[in-house]
Every structure is written in C-alpha cells, then in structure tokens.
A and B are shown apart, each in its own frame.
Chain A
C-alpha cells in the first residue's frame, strides 16, 4: 500500500496531493507543468516535500511531523526516469546490474537473477550493446529491467513512452500491464495522454497547477454502476 499526502511550494503554485493505492497501476494525469514529475521525485526521495507523509507497505519514508526523510537509496522504490537515463558508458548488462553492485542491495534477499529479469523483458540478446545502439522501445525495456532487478516495493514511471511511435507504444503498454500483474506492486505512471490514462489506469489522479482536481478508481465505479469509459469522459471535458 502506497500512501502519499504531501504539499510542496513550487515557483508558480503549491503542489497538494493525497492518495492511497494498493497494487495495480495508478495514473497521474495532467498537462505538462502540473507538478507530476515533482510528485514522483518526492515519492522517490529525490526532492523533499514541505509537509506531509509518505508511506509504503507500512514503512514511513517521509514524515514532516516525525522528521523522517529516508534518502532515495533506502526507499526501495524503482524509478524509470523520463528519458530512461541509461548510463551511456555501460552495456545493457552493466546498466541492469548497477543496482546490485556496491552495497546497493545490502541486507536484502535475491529472489531474482539478472538473467530472469532480462528474460522477462526479452532483452537477453541485447546485453552486450550500449544504450545508443538500442531503439527507443528497447531502451525503455532496459530501463525497466534496471529498476526491477533491485526488487523494489513500488515502481514509478515518468512518461515512459513519450519518445516511442504509436505501434511500439501499444506493445510496451501491454507488456507493462502484464508485468504489473506479475510483480504485484504499486506502479505509479505519469502521462499527459488521456487515452493512455483511460486504458491503463486502475485509478486516475488528475493534476492541474499542482491541485488534485479529480481522483477516480476503476473498482469503485463498477459498484456504482457507471462504466469506466463514461467516467473518464469527464476528463475530456476537463482538458
């Protein structure tokens, strides 16, 4: 369970978000400059909120009240950054193994091998290549593999498909949904594409000027009788 309740002053407006999410994909959706990346950075520990709490699976990652602010190294959160941020001077294999080296994974189990993860993402044949020799879709897979090999408790993805063409995008989106089912941890996906949000999200949080304007969950809707599609149509009016 990922619980986020934070506020942070940004240059133009304050960011205020409150969400609580179990396993599945939650989509943070909104126009560019709405504070989406800042929110992910706060969850990952790369930026510090002004106030609030962040909890993951019962562990307190950040609490302004109790003066807790775990560094990103100890949060056990995987993060696929916007341009994948693959290390250009390392091969695919070295990239994927980076999170296992040093003392990164000290005191934690190794349930998976690097080969398992490479196989899962179908990039075994690419392991000796450099990032620049890969296509956009392949780079995205490597970035996912690199984050997952550390066996995180949650995965954050910041517009992971913005540089991909339509066809590849569909393929990797399907893969992501399958991957989420397999891993069974919260995935937080940032996008500014409404259809993507509608198709992938188990919940959607609409963010504009740092404000949480709408929060809807697929599971609560089926009970209330309205369809997800009807509900997400409201997003269209908002945008």
Chain B
C-alpha cells in the first residue's frame, strides 16, 4: 500500500503556492485589462485564457520547452541562480499555476466589469490614488468573484495532472502529487491505494463545493441587506 500522506501534503503545498501566485497575477491582469486599452488587447486576452481550452499535455509540452535546459527561462534560471526547475516540485507549482491562471483571471475580470465605473470616477475626484480606489472600492465590490476565483484556482491546481506529469514527473516523495499517485497506483493494479487516494480527493472536492455554496449564500444575504441584489 502506498503511503498516502506525502502526496497529499505535496499536493496541498503545490496547490496553495500556485493559488497564491495566480491570485496576485490573475487579479493584476484583470485590473490592467479593464483599466487600459492598447493595440493587441484581444490577442493578449486570448493568450491568457488559452490554458483553459488546450489539453494540459500541450501546456506541459510548451512549459517543457520554456523551462528546459535549452529553453529561454530554463537557461536564465540556470545562468542566474544555478537552479534547475524541471522535475522538481517547483515545476509542479508552475504547471498548476499556468493551468489555473485563466480561472482566476476570467472570474475576477467578470467581477470587476460588474463594478460601476462611476464609483471609481467619484473616488478620483475625491482625491484618492488609483491604488486606494482599487483596494477600497473596486476589489471589495468584486469580492465574491475574487473568492470564487481563489477557490476554483485552488481546486484546479489540486487536480492538475497532465502538465504536472510532463514537467515534474512522478517521483515518489519528491514530485508525486495526489493525481499522479492515483494514476500510478491504478496502473500498477494497486486498487486499494488508488481507492484511498480517490476517496480523499472526493472528500476535498465535496468540501470545497459545499463551502462555496454556503459562502455565496451568505454573501447574497449580505448584499441583499445592503440592497445591491
């Protein structure tokens, strides 16, 4: 029977880090895309959303090229810091982040679009900096989408398989995450181990959905009291 604890802990760590990265980058990208207009904006939007629609193995392949010893990012990291990313758990973090990014970006962007632009105008005439306007007006009003973006990204990162397998491999105790451990266990006929891991993942998935439902109900309640819905 495989030890279920290391893959679970690694999966949690990878998903948490990836979500943190994606929360900052996705929110910033969504804000910038709303605030500025520039040539090629729709092209950039399509590129940012692409990991959502291409197979994870395709994302994995591209990352392999970028992060590999001869890839531009891989060479930079090797020369600058003497770090090799491929087939370490950091590669799993990067793969999960790239795949989860569109979920955060898309959700937050929709949330920001829904915020009345005249509130930001009012903030500006009252003398508030763009930064203060974002953190005190725009983000609080888009909070429900921000939170659901976080949850979706976390779950997507937790379940990431294809790209992770390609760039991080499946080294037990080092880069083996829950999904890859399930695959390996089932492949080798160890159904008991696979079943245990699957059970844990199912419990997680259910808890996340249940949390998000009760949370969004409460949010709706709050906004109803404040009269926005």
Contacts and interface: CB of A to CB of B under 8 A. Distances in A.
Interface of A: 41, 44-46, 71-75, 77-79, 81-83, 85, 87-89, 98-99, 101-105, 130, 132-133, 146-147, 150
A48 B82 CA distance: 50
A87 B127 contact: no
A102 B129 CA distance: 8
A150 B122 contact: no
Given A85-B119, A89-B141, A146 B126 contact: yes
B166 to A, nearest CB: 44
Contacts of B141: 88-89
B80 interface: no
B128 A98 contact: yes
Contacts of A78: 125
Contacts of B118: 81-83, 85
Given A46-B125, A102-B132, A147-B125, A85 B116 contact: yes
Contacts of B124: 45-46, 71-73
Contacts of A77: 125
A150 B227 CA distance: 28
10 contacts: A46-B121, A74-B127, A82-B118, A89-B140, A99-B126, A101-B132, A102-B129, A102-B132, A104-B127, A130-B227
Contacts of B140: 89
Contacts of A83: 118
Contacts of A146: 122, 126
B123 interface: yes
B202 interface: no
Contacts of B137: 87
B35 interface: no
Chief secondary structure at chain B's binding surface: helix
Interface of B: 116, 118-119, 121-129, 132, 136-137, 140-141, 226-228
Contacts, number: 73
A147 B227 contact: no
Given A88-B226, A89-B140, A130-B226, A44 B119 contact: no
**What 7 A-B pairs have minimum CB-CB distances, sorted nearest first?**
A132-B227, A104-B127, A99-B126, A85-B122, A79-B125, A85-B118, A72-B124
Nearest to A99: B126
Nearest to A41: B121
A104 B131 CA distance: 12
B127 A99 contact: yes
Contacts of B127: 73-74, 99, 102-105, 150
Contact of A73 (B116, B119, B128, B136): B128
A104 B126 contact: yes
Most buried by B among A41, A44, A74, A99: A99
B119 A104 contact: no
A81 B192 CA distance: 65
A102 B119 CA distance: 17
A89 B135 CA distance: 13
Nearest to B141: A89
A71 B125 CA distance: 9
B68 to A, nearest CB: 46
B125 A132 contact: no
Contacts of B136: 98
A98 B226 contact: no
A102 B132 CA distance: 8
B44 to A, nearest CB: 24
Contact of B128 (A89, A104, A132): A104
